């Protein structure tokens, strides 16, 4: 298994600013992902964080808005740039050792005013 932590756990931000969310895994994982969970909704995959290279973004998500880094096999960051109230969501990272189990972090609850 893998234990995943995220920082911050929650934040309240002003419109137009940016927030960087950190994701730390207690063991090396093959893949890391970032999801968004808008209020009352399910999880939507934002991107796959690739170690040492650019992230792979899903349709509707772009690097300028959600830059992602993954410098090693246990750590990744997601930045939410130029925030608007529509970005208010829970952002979750996940990691997997193999294709049949993903472990999730506790999420970062973001409110944009």
Residues contributing to the site for another protein (CB under 8 A): 4, 30-31, 33, 41-45, 48, 92, 94, 96, 99-107, 109
Q: Report the nearest approach of another protein to the CB of residue 16 (Å).
A: 27
The smaller minimum CB distance to another protein, of residues 4 and 83, is found at: 4
**Of 103, 72, 78, which Cα lies nearest the Cα of 90?**
78
The smaller minimum CB distance to another protein, of residues 36 and 112, is found at: 36
Q: Report the nearest approach of another protein to the CB of residue 30 (Å).
A: 8
The smaller minimum CB distance to another protein, of residues 14 and 42, is found at: 42
Residue 21 in contact with residue 46, Cβ under 8 Å?
Answer: no
Give the whole-angstrom CA distance, residue 79 versus residue 97: 24
For the chain, how many residues are written?
113
**Of 102, 85, 97, 111, which Cα lies nearest the Cα of 34?**
102
């Amino acid at each position: 298994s893998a234990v995943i932590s995220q920082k911050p756990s929650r934040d309240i931000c002003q419109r137009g600013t940016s927030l960087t969310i950190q994701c730390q895994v207690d063991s090396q994982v093959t893949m890391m992902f970032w999801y968004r969970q808008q209020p009352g909704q399910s999880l939507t995959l934002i991107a796959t964080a690739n170690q040492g290279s650019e992230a792979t973004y899903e349709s509707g998500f772009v690097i300028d808005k959600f830059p992602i880094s993954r410098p090693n096999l246990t750590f990744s960051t997601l930045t939410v740039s130029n925030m608007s109230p529509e970005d208010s969501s829970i952002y979750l990272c996940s990691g997997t050792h193999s294709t049949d189990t993903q472990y999730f972090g506790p999420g970062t609850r973001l409110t944009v005013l």
